[in-house]
Structures are given as C-alpha cells and as structure tokens.
Amino acid sequence: AQRLLNSLTAAEKAALAAEQDRASRASADRVQLGNSTPASGRAGAAFSAAQTKIGSPYVYGATGPSSYDCSGLTSWAYAQAGVGIPRTSQAQANAGTRIYSQSQLQVGDLVIFYGDLHHVGLYAGNGQVLHAPRTGTVVRYESINNMPFQFGVRI
C-alpha cells in the first residue's frame, strides 16, 4: 500500500487527501444515528467514550489516548466503561455473543469486518459504525455497508 501511495503524482496525492478530509468532515457533520438503544450500560459507556475520539488519527498499533488503530479504539473504549476486552480484532471477535443479523445490532456492539476478521468498530445505530478505518484517516462514522460485514459481538 505504501509503495502504491508513493507512486502517486502530487495532484493525485492532493486529490486523495481532499477526499479523505471531505469524508471525515462529512462523517461528523451528517451522520444520523437515530434513537437506537445501547446493548447494555457498559456498551453505551464504551460508545460514548469512543465518540470523544472522533477526529483522532489512525496509527497502526496505537491504543490511545491521542491516536488509535481499529481494535485499539474498541479496547480503549470498553476499558473506559470498566470492561477489559482483548487487544486484537480477531480476539475481540470471540469476546462475547456473536450476532449475525445486522438488524439485531445495538449501539456499542462490536462489529467485525472482512473474512480474516482484521477490522472492528462499534455499532453506532442506523446502519453506521464508529471506527478507526486505516492509515491516513481519522476516527469517524461510516456506513456499515462500506465494508464486508461478518458479524457483531455483544460484550
């Protein structure tokens, strides 16, 4: 991925940066989360903690307090709610009760993506996930449908 990024022209890099900036601003400005209820008091507390980190940069391996990777954000958020969960997305996938139907997800549930379970976020309600997407982005809301959903995990 870094090799590909290094091969971009200055104009392509500027266009990519502008698109990422627009996506991050749009995420914070236009997300309608609806009136979903949290899975539990702990899930609600974890979700509330994660919301305070919107705009924090993604850094691979980071667990806060100023930058995060995907599982670093979710483990940090649950720790703020007094709940210890494993550090990696693959381990978090086995940390609670699996939920295979998106319609059964509740705010604060972990949401696992990709066949190898390498990405995790927090369900935000109304088809949105709060997550730390990847290098070059920030913690933000995004449609759950932008990535291949595998299942949710209720802690």
- Per the structure block, which two tokens stand in for 66? 């100023």
119 is catalytic: yes
What phi, psi does 151 have (nearest 5°)? -175, 165
118 is catalytic: no
Peptide bond into 65 cis (omega under 30): yes
**CB neighbours of residue 49 within 10 Å:** 19
Instruction: Give the burial class of 65: count Cβ atoms within 10 A of its Cβ; 0-12 exposed, 13-18 middle, 19 or more buried.
Output: exposed
Q: Which of 45, 70, 138, 144 is catalytic?
A: 70
Q: Which of 45, 77, 119, 155 is catalytic?
A: 119
* 56 in Cβ contact with 82 (< 8 Å): no
Q: Which of 74, 106, 131, 152 is catalytic?
A: 131
Active-site annotation, residues: 70, 119, 131
